[in-house]
Structure 1
């Protein structure tokens, strides 16, 4: 199937891969049966590659709902997005919905519209929830945010609707249960924090701690034994480099712009871990 450059991330997302795409695509296998991405996030790699057959997953149910609505109800979504306004009082009224019983009555379209609106108008494009699962990022004070990016949303819809893309909302290990030899798996998990205060894992209630990083490595070992080709992104901490020392590791530089503190933004080293050599 043909691809379109207009299909690109429709959300800002912590750890998004748009600016690392040139490095990542250098190492993508030339032939892939099924593409798997268990931590889909904003989907920069998926939407760049636009594989004919893919399985994507995320633990964040609001995020997967947004992908599903873009695929199945694009006209309704665009209509609902157009009602939103870039106003501080309005923003907090929309943000507060998940504190109220009426939130459970929102349709999938209304939930997706709310998520996209908050992402476009909140401070620094963060998606963060508190311990109760409530969105808690403040108003961003942008002059003219692109709340309705119709061109991009329609392009993402075209890809999701006409390719063979399975959407899942669950554990990362379950997302790759059907992966076999000839398939390609790209892992982009919440990163191992580079300092005590650098962790950003609150895009879901579950967090992603050291034990999860180790479980992910064990899953990569299992996929390697199955004959899958696997690539993983993470921060270039000593822990991660030691954890994956048996595999092919490339150090790449990435600029991070999403952080609540300006001191937390800037260039950092990341790793690309692969269970295969360069082609």
Structure 2
């Protein structure tokens, strides 16, 4: 969904919480010739993306071998799952990246917990895995990947002549319930707000927790800011809809922005337009 709200022209793209990378890959496809900087505090995540960027052949070979071993018997697969779950913390980037992908593939709905193993997921045919790794490998060439705090991506000057050309897309940890961000329960949203408001760059933030937004609206108030209510799906399961809200400090001049924009009042309330295109 996020590609609908990305502006047509960007001089540099940054993503402080890259996670599973869906938005990043869309943006990279949209802006193939500009500098990209992706980051995540979770070393498992950055190990995976670094492995896809730099060692796709080794990654494919490792995964192929693991899948072959796992399919011998359910008990073998369970043992491998436990081993790979621990290997996600390896200092070896290839080992950690391989383990991250294996756990993602073999866990229920990609929850990636120690007890989320699913034997039927091990048996699932994944003919599209190799092409997807190759496509991601191509898109990752030239991309800067860091494993650290989000703040530098918001504060460091643009690589080009102007900060005005930088767009930072952020999907911050929700509340420790997301699979990749289970360790994010202690995320300091107040510090995050301060860092965002101090940034000279263009930014877009998406979040689904209702309790996140009243506070965010007050702190992120800009006279020209807009927000949307967007229906999305979790893992393609129809009944599991959730409301995503987007907020930005710039207008991408899109028709969707004009039609569905809602003004954020200074008290944090939302003034929804009475009709499409309304004020």
CA distance, structure 2, for counterparts of residue 103 and residue 54 of structure 1: 25
Task: Tell me by how many angstroms 1:147 deviates.
Answer: 7.9
User: Which aligned pairs between 1:1-279 and structure 2 lie closer than 5 A?
Assistant: 21=1, 24-50=2-28, 51=31, 52-85=34-67, 86-87=70-71, 88-97=74-83, 107-128=92-113, 135-142=114-121, 143-146=123-126, 149-161=129-141, 164-179=142-157, 180-191=163-174, 200-201=177-178, 203-204=180-181, 206-209=183-186, 212-223=188-199, 226=200, 228-245=201-218, 246=221, 247-257=225-235, 266-279=240-253
Query: Is 1:121–1:145's contact at 8 Å kept on the other side of the alignment?
Result: no
> Residues of 2 paired with 1:79 and 1:49: CA distance?
28
**Alignment size in residue pairs:** 234
* Alpha-carbon separation, structure 1, partners of 2:65 and 2:245: 42
Using the TM superposition, give the Cα deviation of residue 71 of structure 1 relative to its aligned residue in structure 2, in angstroms. Answer: 1.0
Normalised to the residue count of structure 1, the TM-score between the two structures is 0.73
Query: Aligned-residue CA RMSD in angstroms?
Result: 2.8
Distance (Å, rounded) in 2 between the aligned partners of 1:158 and 1:238: 39
Computing the radius of gyration from Cα coordinates, the structure with the larger value is: 2
Q: CA deviation at 1:231?
A: 0.2
Alpha-carbon spacing, 1:200–1:236, altered in 2? closer, same or farther (3 Å): closer
Deviations 1:150-194 (A, max 9, x none): 101011111112xx31101111113333243320000011225xx
Provide, for residues 225-268 of structure 1, a one-character-per-residue CA deviation record: whole Å limited to 9, x for no partner. Answer: x2x1110010151441442241422111122239xxx9xx7111
Partners of 2:84 and 2:107 lie apart in 1 by 15
Note if contact 1:217-1:244 (Cα within 8 Å) is conserved in structure 2: no
Higher relative contact order (CA 8 A, sep 6+): 1
Between Structure 1 and Structure 2, the one with more helix by share is 2
1:147–1:110: structure 2 CA closer, same or farther, 3 Å change rule? farther
Mind listing any 5+ residue stretches in structure 1 that lack a counterpart? 1-20, 129-134, 193-198
Other structure's SS at 2:98 match: helix
